[in-house]
Amino acid sequence: GQQVMQIPQYQHVQEGEDFTTYCNSSTTLSNIQWYKQRPGGHPVFLIQLVKSGEVKKQKRLTFQFGEAKKNSSLHITATQTTDVGTYFCATERGYQKVTFGTGTKLQVIP
Amino acid sequence: DTEVTQTPKHLVMGMTNKKSLKCEQHMGHRAMYWYKQKAKKPPELMFVYSYEKLSINESVPSRFSPECPNSSLLNLHLHALQPEDSALYLCASSGDGQITEAFFGQGTRLTVV
């Protein structure tokens, strides 16, 4: 099936800098979820967005769902070393068929 | 209890062996999933069980055989695997609410020799 693409694939930032990852689909998405996977760990759910143009915040993290529901972004303000990991968007391609985007690996340099 | 427990954490098996991966959750979730994750890749959906019935099989080879004995347990039976099947196998569960948050187990790191 069609995979949701994320850019960039990798990002190195200095601690304190901001970071953004983008999730893009050629088809309309019913919803978008974001997960974080620490090195050696398992994916952990961060948030779900459902409505067109929706914006949600969690402390330093801001999540957006595009107006056309074909893209989404995750923005981290003032990164910390604890933000290190791979960030995946995921979407339901059919009932309970949760499939993951390609992921963005974030490295934070202290 | 918001945990999904997977056993074993690590498994090394030969190509002629038969082994099973186990997954357990006590959150009352009715959907349970198996994902396969290769290094530096996203988790790839294999199977979905909904209310203890297999609802999705993503064209997975028959050497992988899932089983859902009851609403809390999910097994993945392995037989005659290939070295390219070495990966992290993740189990997940989710509820029926509006937010379909998936809770993942720690995974089983499988090596086929």
- The rounded average pLDDT for each run of 10 residues, N- to C-terminus, in chain B (113 residues) is 90 95 95 96 96 94 97 96 97 83 96 97
Distance from CA of A77 to the nearest CA of B (A): 24
Residues 6+ apart with CB under 8 A from A75: A18, A19, A20, A61, A62, A63, A64
Q: Name which of A43, A3, A2 is nearest B35 in CA terms.
A: A43
Chain B neighbors of A97, CB-CB under 8 A: 45, 48, 56
Task: Give tens-digit pLDDT for B21-52.
Answer: 999 999 999 999 999 999 999 999 999 999 99
Which of B48, B99, B103 is nearest residue A96 as measured by Cβ atoms? B48
Residue B44 CA neighbour count, 13 Å, CB half: 15
Determine contact: A85 vs chain B, CB below 8 A.
Answer: no
Q: What is the C-alpha separation between B4 and B72, in angstroms, rounded?
A: 10
pLDDT, tens digit (0-9, with 9 covering 90-100), for A31-86: 999 999 999 999 999 999 999 999 999 999 999 999 999 999 999 999 999 999 99
- B98 contacts in A (CB within 8 Å)? 50
At A2 the pLDDT is: 61
Q: Is the pLDDT score of A1 beyond 60?
A: no
Q: Are A43 and B107 inside 8 Å of each other by CB?
A: no
* Max intra-chain CA distance, chain B: 44
Would the CB atoms of B90 and A97 count as touching at under 8 Å? no
Give me the pLDDT at residue A93, please: 83
Identify from B9, B88, B91, B101 which residue to disrupt to test chain A contact, counting A C-beta atoms within 10 A and taking the largest count: B101
- Interface contact B100, partner A, CB < 8 A: yes
- CB–CB of A43 and B99 under 8 A? no
Beta bridge partners, A108, equal: A13
> What gap in Å lies between CA A23 and CA A9, rounded to an integer?
11
Of A41, A42, A96, nearest to B55 by CB-CB distance is: A96
